[in-house]
Amino acid sequence: MHEEAMLHDLVRKAGEVARREGATRVTRVRLWVGARSHFTGPELGDHWAHVAKGTVVSGAKVEIETSSDPNDPNAEQVILRSLDVDARKGRP
């Protein structure tokens, strides 16, 4: 399942960024979805929540930008655009 592996990789990358920033959790994730990625916005949000469960990304608000350009060089990808983190120490 290529799509699920892609999401696991994105969650891992988000976690790495959060740790590098000293974050206790990720509060918002912005994803860009290519036109040929095999994901729709709502479907991606559901899959993301499942894959992120139990990680520093769990519970983060997910904002999804969907491309309609099938000729974009990244049309088959889901890209982590940015994330917001809570870097306050001692927060659960």
| Total domains, the chain | 1
The answer to whether 34 and 72 are in contact (CB under 8 A) is yes
Residue 32 forms part of a structural domain: yes
> pTM for this structure?
0.84
pLDDT at 46: 85
Q: In this model, does residue 40 exceed pLDDT 80? A: no
The answer to whether 19 and 89 are in contact (CB under 8 A) is no
Tokens of 32: 């860009």
> Of the ranges 27-36, 43-52, 53-62, which one carries the lowest mean pLDDT score?
43-52
Q: Tokens 């000729």 identify what position? A: 71
Expressed as residue numbers, the domain containing 55 is 2-86
Q: How does residue 3 score in pLDDT terms, banded at 50, 70 and 90?
A: confident
Residue 92 forms part of a structural domain: no
Residue 29 forms part of a structural domain: yes
Beta-sheet strand order (sheet of 61-66): 61-66, 25-33, 78-86
Residue 91 forms part of a structural domain: no
For residue 33, the domain's CATH number is: 3.30.2320.50
Residue 38 forms part of a structural domain: yes
